[in-house]
Copies of this chain bind each other. A is one copy, B any other.
Amino acid sequence: MAYPNLIDGRAIAEQIHSETAARVQDLRQRGVRPGLAFVRVGEDPASRVYVGMKERACARLGIVSITQVLPDSTTEAELLALIDALNASAEWHGILVQAPLPSHIQSSRVFARVSPLKDVDGFHPENVGKLMLGDPSGFVPCTPGGVQELLIRSKVKTDGAEVVVLGRGDIVGKPMTSILCQKSPQANATVTLCHSRTRHVSEHCRRADVIIAAMGVPEFLKAEMVKPGATVIDVGVNRVPAAGTKDGTKLVGDVDFAGVQPVAGLITPNPGGVGPMTIALLMRNTARAAEMFLAK
């Protein structure tokens, strides 16, 4: 590998996929075919790509999947009715409504309608609350759960560590904080949650043993903001203009990789870092949802 300090998200995701595949096989032997229902509204190109990647992961692991594609003009009531039907089905153990939804639909109402027992994204308020309470009966959201797995399997100690989370989004920043503040040897971090109103963000970053960048600002984290030897996790996916590419754009993370990589102790590439982990955790959550269904 070109950089000796890379956290290989693809390899770690493969480990988790192997574990999940074994659980899926076990479920099938016990008569349950784990099933994941995707709901996609409209033709957002990124959503199509994401759902496609998740469908392929299901197929690889033996998870049955279905994708319900609804037109952009779908009303909130229609979408909620579909979710109710999926909630009631014995066939689909997990339900994933792909964000973003069209602006005439209130996303929070939709995510709260998915049964907490099928909420493999971990977006339902009850699961958000259980995460903060350290109650393991809920679903851990895929991206921050994937970041924690990256840290654990890369032997990055968070116990007693100073962690800075950049970005207070509902999908990554907030649940990341909930995960890492728990009283557990795999958490136990002192977490500072920074955001657009933070005045001393560079100072916070420079003190951190671990920085998790998830604010959606292209290449925000620069080398001079990183303590030598710190672990840097890049969750960002930002499309920026770029000369010489097919569509005139490229994807970059929230970390200035070229600058930060020589300073960091460990760092995730992007792509190939957090992204594969998100899918690995989604598959694992789906196997778990099917196990919970079987145990009922």
Contact = CB atoms under 8 A, between A and B. Distances in A.
A30 interface: no
Given A128-B132, A132-B178, A197 B192 contact: no
Given A125-B129, A132-B129, A190 B181 contact: no
Q: How many copies are assembled?
A: 2
Interface residues of A, number: 39
Interface stretch (A12-20, A75-83, A198-206, A256-264): A198-206
Given A178-B132, A192-B191, A198 B160 contact: yes
Given A199-B160, A199-B190, A124 B129 contact: yes
A108 B133 contact: yes
Interface in A90-138: 108, 124-133, 135, 138
Contacts of A189: 197
A173 to B, nearest CB: 9
A181 B198 contact: no
Interface of A: 108, 124-133, 135, 138, 159-160, 162, 168, 170, 174-175, 177-178, 181-183, 188-200, 204
